[in-house]
Amino acid sequence: MEILMSIVIGILFTCAVYLMLSKSLLRIIIGTGLLSHGAHLLLLTMSGLKTGAAPVLTEGITNYTDPLPQALVLTAIVISFGVTAFFLVLAYRAYQELGTDNMEKMRGTESHD
Amino acid sequence: MSLLHLAIVLPFLSAVFIPFLFKGLRNIHTGWFVLLVPLALFIYFIQYMPLTRDGQTVTRTLEWIPSLGINFIAHVDGLGLLFAMLITGIGALVVLYSIYYLAKEKEALHNFYVYLLMFMGAMLGVVLSDNLIVLYMFWEFTSISSFLLIGYWYDRERSRYGAQKSMLITVFGGLSMLGGIVLLYIMGGTFSIQELIGMSSGFMTDPLFVPALLLILLGAFTKSAQFPFHIWLPDAMEAPTPVSAYLHSATMVKAGIYLVARMSPVFAESELWLWLVAGFGIFTLFWGSFNAVKQTDLKAILAFSTISQLGLIMSLLGLGAAALHFDQLDDNVYMIATIAAVFHLINHATFKGSLFMMAGIVDHETGTRDIRKLGGLVNLMPITFTIAIIGCFSMAGLPPFNGFLSKEMFLTGMISVFELDIFNLSTWGVLFPVLAWIASVFTFVYSIKLVFKTFLGKPQFEKLPKKPHEAPVGMLISPLILVALVIVFGFFPNLLSNSMIKPAVESILPSLVDAGQTVKVDIYFWHGFTPELFMTIGIILTGIVLYSTLAKWESIYNRIPHRFTLNGLYDGGLSRSETGGYRLTNGVMTGFMRTYLVYIFSFFTAILLSTLLITDGFSIDTSNLAEIRSYEVILGLVLVSAAVTILFAKSRLTSIISLGAVGYSVALFFVLFRAPDLALTQLVIETVSVALFLLCFYHLPEISRKEERMKFRLGNAVLSITVGLTMTLIAISSFSSRSFESISQYHIDNVYELAAGGNMVNVILVDFRGFDTLFEICVLGIASFGIYAMVRFRGVGRENE
Amino acid sequence: MKKPNDLILKTVTKVISFIIILFSLHLFFAGHYEPGGGFIGGLMTAAALVLLLLAYDMKTVNTILPFNYKIMTALGLLIAVLTSAGALLFNVPFLTHAYDYFELPLLGETSLHTAVLFDIGVYLVVIGITMTIIQTIGESE
C-alpha cells in the first residue's frame, strides 16, 4: 500500500508542479492546493500505513495508528487552507487591478513602476 | 529574579515609560526623569564595593534556558563592578549634561532617552553577565543602540553613513565573537566564564584554541576600535555630543577592553594572545595619535585620541599577560602593566569624558567645531578653558594630573619588556617602548593643539556662526565634576588603588591570586630619576618642537591617496558589494514567477536527489507494508484521474471541481488510514475552499469567458516529472528506513496520564505540541487580516496621487 | 440580478444550520476524548454560518449574528496566548496545561482542563478567520 501511495504522491506532485509552472494565476493556485494534498499524504505515508485503531484511547486496544503525523497533517491542512484563501484573494485582486490573470502580462499598473 | 538582575534590566524597564513622560509632561525636560535611573544604580552598585574590596564575588542565577546551558547569571567581581560604576556614574553625568545640551522643544527626546537607556542596560548586562550567550546578547544590544544613537539625527547623510558603518563593523565583530563563544563551548562544555576559567589550563593544546582566540579577539577589536577596525569611530562622531562622551569614550568602546580583560584568564597563557593584544594595541596607539594630529574637527581629534588611548589600554592588557609566566616570583613586577591598564581605564573615562563635553560646549556656544575657525575663546569662556586645559594636560601625561601617573606606569610596563625572556620579547619587544614613546609624543602634540588652537591664538569671531559666550551652568556641572576627579585622582591615586583597581586586577589575573601572590597597588608621583622620567621629559621637549613646527611637516598627511586608506577600502568594498549584488540580483531575478519556481524546484530536486545518491539513502523495505485492498486502489485511481483532469481541463469550473474531487478523495484516504480528525477537517475545509474558489473566480464574468486549454511545454513537463519522481523515491525510502525510534509511542503512552485526554491527535495539538498550534493560528490570523486589507484598502494609493 | 427561488434552501437552512452548530459544539467539547477539537469545531461552525450566508444575504446574517469576526480572531489569539502564558505564573514552562476532576451539577464528575481554554482560542480564531475571509470577499462584489 505504501508503494502505491508513494506513486500517487509522485503523480500529485508532478501535476502540481506542472500547474504551478503555467501562466495562469488560477492554475498556479490550484497547483499549490494539489501540492499540499501531496504533502499531507506524504506525511501520513512516511510513518507507515500499518492499520491499527484510530488514535482515540479505547479500552483493550494497544495497537493504534501513529497519531503524530495526523496531528502534523491537521495543522498543515488548516494552514494550507489559510494560504490558499490568501492566494485566491491576491489573484482576485490582481485580476481586478490589472485585468489579466496571465503571469507574463502582469507588469504592474502605470502608477507603480 | 534577584535585585541584581532587576538592576541590570532597570534601564530597559524604565525606557518603557520615557515616551509617555515625554508626551505627558512636556514642560519638564525628560532628562530629569532619566537621570534618576543611573543615579539610583550608581548608589546601588556602591554597596558592592566593600565586598569586592575583600576579594569576594556575588553571583545570582536566573534560569532562562537551562536545557541549553543558557542562564542569566549575574556575576559581580572587581572588574565587573568597576565597569558598572563607570557606566552608571558617567551615565548620570552624561544625562545631566544632555538636559542642557538637547533642547526639549526641538529634539525628539523620547527617542533619544529610550536609546540611551537601552544602551545603559545593555552595557550593564555585558559587564555583569557570566554566561557568554547572555553577554553576547547584551553585546549586540550595545551595537544596535549605538547604531540608533549615532543615527539620531537621521536626516543628516553623514549620520546615516556613520551609523551604518559602526553597525556593519561592530556587528561583524559580534558575530565572530559568537563563533568564538561556540568554539569555547565545544572545548569546555559550558557557557559560564568562571567555569571556563577554571578549566582553561587544558585548552592550550586544543586544536580549537587558536580559532576561538582569534574570533573572540575579532569581536573585542572591532568594538574597541583597534586598528584596522578603528575607522568606524571617527564617523560615529555624528552622534550628539553627550552620546559621544558616553558611548564613544567611556563605555561602549571599552566593552572590547572589558572582553579582553575578562577573557584574559582563559587565553592569556598563550603566546599568540600576548603578541596579538599587545601588538595591535601598541600599533593602534601609534596610528591613532599620529592621525589625531592632522584632524581639524574638535570631535575628530578626540575620536582619534580615543582610538589611540584604547590601543594603549589594550597593549597594557596584552603585556600584563606576561605576569602569568612568573607566578613563582614573590614580587611580580610584571603586574604593573595590568594595574596601569585598569588605572588608565578610569583616568581615560574622566578626562576624555570631560573633553568631549568641552567640545560639545564649544560647538553649542559657537556653532562650529572646526579649529581653523576657532581661536581666542579664553576670555569669553574661562571655565570651559579650564576644563579643556586640565583634560588635555592629563591626556598628554603632564603632572600633576592622573594622566601623568598612568602614563608613567604605562612606560614602566613597556620598558619591562626588555627584561622578559619569553616569546622572543627580548628581541622584537624593543618595538614596544619605541612605538609607545613616539605615540606619546604625538599625543602631546594633539593635546596641545586641541587647547591652544581653540582657546588661545588670534580671535576670529567673525567666522563663527554664533556669537560665542560661556555655557549655562547646568552644562558645565558634569565636565567640572569630571575634571575635579582628574585632579583628585592625580593627587590621591591611592583612593582608587585598593577600592577599585586591586579587585579589578585580581579578577583579570585570578591564577596569580591563586598562586598566593598579592596585587600591590601603590601609585605615587616621584620614582626618582628613572628611565620613565627621562622619557617623559623627552616627550615634552620633542612635542613642543613638533608642535611649533607643525606647519612644516603637516603635509606628510596628504601623501596617502584616499583610495589606499582603510576608509577608502571600506567605502570601495561597500559600494562594490552593493553594485555587485545589484547586478547579480538583476541577472537572476527576471520578474517572472515561473523563473523563480523553476529555480526552486530545480534546486529542490538537485539537492534531494544528490543527497539520496551520495549518502546512499535510497532503500526499499517491503517487509512491513500494509496490504493493498481493492477499494484503496480504486480510490487512488480516482484521485489520480481527478488530478490529471485538471491538467487537461478547458474550463475553470472543471478545474475547480476536479480539485474538489482530489480533496474529497484525500479525505476518504484519511478515513481509510484511521484518521477521523483529519477526515472531518478535510471534508469541511474542502467544502469551504471550493466555495471560496467559486466565489472568487466563477462569479467574475470576464474571466470565465477567456478559457483555453494549457499548452504543452516540454521543459515544464520534464521538470515536474523529475519533482514527482523525487517525491516518490523519498516517500519510499522514508517509510523503509528508520534511523531512530519515533516519539509517537510516548504520546500514545502518556496521553491519559499527562494530559487526561483520549483523543491523541487533539491532545498533541493543544498540549504536547501546543506551540505548533499557537503559531498556526497566528499564521491564520495574519492571512485573514492580509485578505481583509487587500480587499478593503484598495485604491488608497490611488487617492493620494 | 434575477432572484432565484430558494424557498426550500432557506427553510432547510433554518433548521440545518443550527443542528450543524450544535454538532460543532459537540465536536469541540468532545475533542479531548473523541474525534473533534477546536479546529474541526470551528470549521464546522463556520460552515454552518456559510450555509446561512448562501441561503440569506449578508445583511440578514449580520443582523442575526452581529459579530465582528476580526475582533473574534484577535480575541481567540489573545485567549490562546494568555492561557499559554498563564503557565508562567505557576513557574512552569510556557504552554504547560493543568487539569483536575471536579463534581459539577448535572454532569457529575468531570475533568476540567486548561487545554480547553486554549482550544477555545483556537475555535474562535478558526471561526473568525473563515468568516472574515468569506465576508470580505462577499462584500467586495
- Concatenated DSSP letters of C77-103: HHHHHHHHHHHHHTTS-TT---EEEEE
How many CB pairs below 8 Å do chains A and C form together? Answer: 15
Please tell me which residue, B529 or B350, carries the higher pLDDT value: B350
Separation between Cα atoms, residue B41 and residue B47, nearest integer Å: 10
B675–A28 CB contact, under 8 Å: no
- Which of B665, B754, B760 best probes binding to A when mutated, by most A CB atoms within 10 angstroms? B760
Q: Mind giving me the DSSP string for B738-801? A: -SS--THHHHHHHHHHHH--SBHHHHIIIIITHHHHHHHHHHHHHHHHHHHHHHHTTTHHHHH-
Determine whether the interchain pair B791/C130 forms a contact, defined as Cβ–Cβ distance below 8 Å.
no
Peptide bond into C105 cis (omega under 30): no
CB B506 within 8 A of CB B521: no
Residue contacts between A and B (CB atoms, under 8 Å) = 262
- pLDDT confidence bin for B216, thresholds 50/70/90: very high
The torsion of the CA quartet C44, C45, C48, C50, rounded to 10 degrees, works out to -100
CB distance B777–C80 less than 8 Å? yes
- Residue A39, CB half-sphere, CA atoms under 13 Å: how many? 16
pLDDT of residue B563: 59
Task: Please give the Cα distance from C113 to C33 (Å, whole number).
Answer: 12
Q: What pLDDT, in 10s, does the model give residues B534-558?
A: 888 888 888 888 888 877 777 777 7
Which chains, if any, share at least 3 CB pairs under 8 A with chain C?
Answer: A, B
Contact B677 C32 (CB under 8 A): no
Which residues from A are below 8 Å from C35, CB to CB? 54, 56
Q: What is the share, in percent, of chain A residues with pLDDT greater than 70?
A: 86
pLDDT of B704: 47
CA distance A78 to chain B (A): 8
Question: Which one-letter DSSP state was computed for residue B246?
Answer: I
**Domain-by-domain residue ranges, chain B?**
272-299+312-548, 740-801
* For residues B81-97, average pLDDT: 91
DSSP-based helix, strand, coil % in chain C, nearest 5: 70, 10, 25
pLDDT at B259: 92
Q: Is B740 exposed, middle or buried (0-12, 13-18, 19+ CB in 10 A)?
A: exposed
Distance from CA of B278 to the nearest CA of C (A): 47
Does C58 contact chain B (CB < 8 Å)? no
What pLDDT shows up at residue B799?
46
CB contact under 8 A, B647 and A15: yes
C-alpha cell of B672? 481509510
Residues of A in contact with B760 (CB under 8 A): 55-57, 64, 67, 71
| Strand B70-76 with B58-65, pairing | antiparallel
Under an 8 Å CB criterion, which residues of B touch C?
676-677, 680-681, 684-685, 687-688, 691-692, 695-696, 699, 755-759, 761-763, 765-767, 770-771, 773-774, 777-778, 780-781, 783-785, 787-788, 791-792
Q: What is the pLDDT of residue B423?
A: 62
Could you read off the pLDDT of B248-299 as tens digits, one per residue?
A: 777 888 999 999 999 888 888 888 888 889 889 999 999 898 888 888 888 8
pLDDT for residue B628: 81
Distance CA B223, CA B255 (A): 7
- pLDDT at residue number B270: 83
ipTM: 0.91
Under DSSP, is residue C68 helix (H, G, I), strand (E, B) or coil? coil
Residue entry with cell 585620541: B305
> Chains meeting A at 3+ CB pairs closer than 8 A?
B, C
Chain C environment of B758 (Cβ under 8 Å): 32-34
Confidence of residue C4 (pLDDT cuts 50, 70, 90): low
More confident residue, B745 or A101: B745
- Closest C-alpha among B587, B645, B553, B608 to residue B734: B608
Q: What pLDDT shows up at residue A113?
A: 40
- Three-state DSSP at B377 gives coil
The helix-helix angle for B109-128 and B78-101 (nearest 10°) equals 170
Q: Which residues of B266-301 are buried (b: 16+ CB within 10 A; e: fewer)?
A: bbbbbeebbbbbbbbbbbbbbbbbbbbbbbebbbbb
Residue of C nearest to A90 (CA): C137
Q: Cβ of B628 and A11 within 8 Å?
A: no
Point out the residue among C39, C126, C137 whose CB comes nearest to the CB of A89. Answer: C137
Q: pLDDT at position B137, please?
A: 93
What values do phi and psi take at B541, rounded to 5? -65, -50
**pLDDT score recorded for residue A112:** 45
Interface test with A, best of C27, C123, C140 (most A CBs within 10 A): C140
Q: Region B657-674: what's the mean pLDDT? A: 90
Query: Which pLDDT tens digit goes with each residue over C49-88?
Result: 888 887 887 777 888 778 888 888 888 888 888 888 877 7
CB contact under 8 A, A56 and C35: yes
CA distance B522 to B508: 18
**What pLDDT was estimated at residue B420?**
67
Q: At residue B619, what are phi and psi to the nearest 5 degrees?
A: -145, 155
Using the Cβ of A89 and the Cβ atoms of chain C, whether some distance falls under 8 Å is answered with: yes
Question: What confidence category does residue B101 fall into, taking pLDDT thresholds of 50, 70 and 90?
Answer: confident
CB contact under 8 A, A78 and B776: yes
**Rg over CA atoms, chain A:** 19
Rounded to a whole number, what is the distance in Å from the CA of A92 to chain C's nearest CA? 9
Question: Which CA distances in Å does B681 have to A39, B1, C115?
Answer: 16, 45, 20
What residues of chain B lie within 8 A of the CB of A53, using their CB? 674
Are B582 and B699 in contact, with CB atoms under 8 Å apart?
no
Q: Are C40 and B676 in contact (CB under 8 A)?
A: no
pLDDT attached to residue B220: 92
Chain pair B-C, CB pairs under 8 angstroms: 135
C3 — pLDDT class (breaks 50, 70, 90): low
Asked whether the beta carbons of residue C136 and residue A89 sit closer than 8 angstroms, the reply is yes
Residue of B nearest to C40 (CA): B681
Distance CA A14, CA A42 (A): 14
Of B109-118, B524-533, B602-611, the least confident? B524-533
Grid coordinates representing B674? Answer: 484511521
- Angle (nearest 5°) at CA B669 between B668 and B672: 90
Q: What pLDDT, on a 0 to 100 scale, did the predictor assign at position B715?
A: 83
Q: Mean pLDDT lowest for which of B40-44, B45-49, B709-713?
A: B709-713
pLDDT value at A108 more than 80? no
Least confident of A9-18, A104-113, B28-37, B664-673: A104-113
B478 within 8 A of B94, measured Cβ to Cβ: yes
Report the C-alpha gap between C26 and C4 in whole angstroms.
34
Sequence spans of domains, chain C: 7-140
Interface test with C, best of A58, A74, A81 (most C CBs within 10 A): A81
Bridge partners, residue B225, by sequence: none
CA distance linking residue B729 with residue B613, whole number of Å: 11
B187's grid cell: 572545548
Q: Which helix (H) or strand (E) holds B72?
A: strand B70-76
Higher pLDDT, B414 or B181: B181
Residue B572's alpha-carbon distances to B347, C30, C92, in angstroms, are: 37, 66, 53
For residue C1, what pLDDT is reported?
A: 43
